[in-house]
Amino acid sequence: MVIPLEADGKTVGTVDIRREEKETCFFLRGTAKPDLYRVTIRGDRGTVFLGVWEGEQTLCRRLSRELTAPLGTPLCACAVRCQRDEGWVSAPPERFAPWPTEHGLCRRRGGVWELALPYRPDRPFPLPELVCLARICTVAGEERAVFCFDDDRAPVMPL
Q: Tens-of-pLDDT digits for all 159 residues of the chain?
A: 999 999 988 999 999 999 999 999 999 999 998 878 889 999 999 989 888 888 888 899 999 988 898 899 999 999 988 755 567 888 887 788 888 888 899 988 888 999 999 999 999 999 999 999 999 998 877 899 999 999 888 999 887
User: Are 15 and 71 part of one and the same domain?
Assistant: yes
Distance CA 146, CA 137 (A): 7
User: Are 66 and 8 part of one and the same domain?
Assistant: yes
Domain of residue 42, residue span: 2-82
Distance CA 4, CA 153 (A): 30
pLDDT of residue 57: 82
Using a cut of 0.85, tell me whether the model's pTM lies above it.
Answer: no
DSSP 21-57: SSEEEEEEEE--SSS-EEEEEEESS-EEEEEEE-SSS
User: Are 38 and 72 part of one and the same domain?
Assistant: yes
Total domains present in the chain: 2
User: Are 64 and 125 part of one and the same domain?
Assistant: no
CATH assignment of the domain containing 33: 2.60.40
